[in-house]
Amino acid sequence: MMLKLALRNLWGAGLRTVLNVAVLSFAFVAIIWLQGLYEGMNQQASQALLREAYGGGQYWHPLYDPYDPLSIIDSQGLLPVKIDSFVHRKQATAILLIQGTLYPQGRVQTVVISGIDPDQRVLDMPVDVLKIDDSDIPALLGTRMAKTCGLSTGDAVILRWRDRNGTFDARQIRIVEIMHTNVQMIDNGRVWIPLHKLQEMTLRPNEATLVVLDRSTTRTASADWTFHNTDELLQDIHELVKVKQIGGMVLYVILLFLAMLAIFDTQVLSIFRRRKEIGTLMALGMTRWQVVRLFTLEGALHGIFAALLAAIYGIPLLVIYARHGMQLTDAVDSMGISLGTQLYPVYSTGMILATVVIVLTTVTVVSYLPSRRIAKLKPTDALRGKRA
């Protein structure tokens, strides 16, 4: 009965209802759209990281700490037997990191020389180009790194490093390829050369800094090398996206606020204008709280209708969008998350449900707040059309 009356009243309000529902449905779609972008960003960046850097998890040398650049000075060592057997079975690949200096065009650039097996299949990196046998050391750079150093394919450049005894040595390396990657961590400040070459150069045979596990291999315990699973490794990117998401929230808080303002306004106006009707309902035997509920329901129904309307035009829109992705400009790269040129939003059921629940709850609360005043209204005053 309440529902029927509420629906009739909404219908009776005509254009006002339509406008409110339209604004609110727009808020729905915009919020879900934005959330989808962030979720897409998160997943896309995570996938790239797993493919190109984290694999199925990493074993770290006990002294290795990626957050402390100085830690790589001491974090080289022989692999524990268990981990070494993974590497032998090609289920993992070892990476040796050494601090070095590059001298491109007379400038000085501190780099992390990264040795990787050119035959490895664990990470999706074009390292097979390092197989070339040449007098120079073949090197692979990412596009960002190449740009910072002003280097391009075929260029030769001097690289200097210290071997295990602390003795400086320098040689010419040749850039054999510039790889395009969205993962900054394997790009910025990195010079990729064959692992065995680097081990030779530094007098560190069979040593490594970290070992990347194949994505299908499950870990086993190891003595002193610590295992870091993918959840742990991806923590940073998740956090980064979350931070951006909170930044993006400002937009939809404003959107939601505007939609709520419209509904609040409608409620206040409708309670003010329909005072006599409220009195009549009370005279007919409705309790005050029943009337409060009726008005709250009317307001809350805006939310339901908005959700339905949003579904009608929003679902096709979001589906198309998720399928075709969004063209990104280079600007996105500088936000700290690299995603490539195309971003595919991801809309999860949980996220959509959460959005619907949050919006509906807010609408209900916003509808309830002004309606609550009805409970303080005396039936006689309401019948006279007087203000509370």
Contacting positions for another protein (CB under 8 A): 1, 5, 8-9, 11-12, 276-277, 279-290, 378-380, 383
Residues in the chain: 388
**Closer to another protein by Cβ: residue 243 or 283:** 283
Query: What is the closest distance, in whole angstroms, from the C-beta atom of residue 264 to another protein in the complex?
Result: 22
**Closer to another protein by Cβ: residue 8 or 238:** 8
Query: What is the closest distance, in whole angstroms, from the C-beta atom of residue 375 to another protein in the complex?
Result: 8
**Closer to another protein by Cβ: residue 21 or 127:** 21
User: Count of CB atoms within 10 A of residue 336's CB?
Assistant: 13
Of 347, 359, 255, nearest to 306 (Cα)? Answer: 359
**Closer to another protein by Cβ: residue 131 or 276:** 276
Partner residues linked to 95 by β-bridges: 116, 210
User: CA–CA distance from 378 to each of 253, 275, 368 (Å)?
Assistant: 37, 10, 18
Query: What is the closest distance, in whole angstroms, from the C-beta atom of residue 318 to another protein in the complex?
Result: 35
Query: What is the closest distance, in whole angstroms, from the C-beta atom of residue 35 to another protein in the complex?
Result: 37
Name the helix (H) or strand (E) containing 154: none
**Closer to another protein by Cβ: residue 131 or 273:** 273
Query: What is the closest distance, in whole angstroms, from the C-beta atom of residue 279 to another protein in the complex?
Result: 8
**Closer to another protein by Cβ: residue 11 or 168:** 11
Name the helix (H) or strand (E) containing 285: none
- Which residue has tokens 């797993």? 50
* Residue 211 to residue 54: CA distance in whole angstroms: 10
Tokens, residue 206: 């069979």
User: Count of CB atoms within 10 A of residue 11's CB?
Assistant: 9
Q: Are 116 and 95 in contact (CB under 8 A)?
A: yes
Query: What is the closest distance, in whole angstroms, from the C-beta atom of residue 3 to another protein in the complex?
Result: 11
Dihedral (C-alpha) 341, 342, 348, 352: value to the nearest 10 degrees?
100
User: CA–CA distance from 245 to each of 28, 39, 40, 319, 349 (Å)?
Assistant: 16, 9, 12, 21, 18
Query: What is the closest distance, in whole angstroms, from the C-beta atom of residue 247 to another protein in the complex?
Result: 45
**Closer to another protein by Cβ: residue 76 or 270:** 270
Phi-psi region of 311 (alpha: psi -120 to 50; beta: other; left: phi over 0): alpha
Q: Are 55 and 213 in contact (CB under 8 A)?
A: yes
Query: What is the closest distance, in whole angstroms, from the C-beta atom of residue 267 to another protein in the complex?
Result: 17
**Closer to another protein by Cβ: residue 178 or 292:** 292
